Amino acid sequence: MVIELTIDRFEPEHLGKLNFYPEGLDRDVHKPHENLAIGLLLCASKDNEVVEYALSRSPSPALVAEYHTRLPDRRLLAAKLHEFYALNAFGASDDAVA
């Protein structure tokens, strides 16, 4: 996985640069038992419609997300953490049964 962080708003040309790095990994580092690399672009802001258009014909798998410079409320983080652990505990019990 390639992660790129930009302090700018998402622009479609960011994908061209982002697609370059996974290609390098896939050609020079990728092992036969591994999945192909994907790119994750973290932007200060984005317009969902622009991202959708830009990704619609992207040749390699990529994700675009906004990041926040402040953490959410502590209670919200705690609730999400408990939710995450509950989901993983539930998933682990399903794996043990299968």
Residues 31-71: pLDDT tens digits? Answer: 999 998 889 999 999 999 999 998 888 777 888 999 888 88
Together in a domain, 6 and 28? yes
Together in a domain, 7 and 53? yes
- The residue segments making up the domain with residue 98 are 72-98
DSSP letter for 12, please.
T
Q: For residue 56, what are the CA distances in angstroms to 12, 39, 40, 45, 50?
A: 11, 15, 15, 19, 10
Q: How many CB atoms lie within 10 A of CB 51?
A: 21
The structural domain count of the chain equals 2
Residue 82's pLDDT band, with cuts at 50, 70 and 90, is very high
Name the more confident of 30 and 60: 30
Together in a domain, 18 and 54? yes
Together in a domain, 41 and 54? yes
Together in a domain, 38 and 14? yes
Non-local (6+) Cβ contacts of 43 within 8 A are 6, 8, 9, 10, 14, 64, 65, 66, 67
Together in a domain, 80 and 98? yes
Together in a domain, 54 and 20? yes
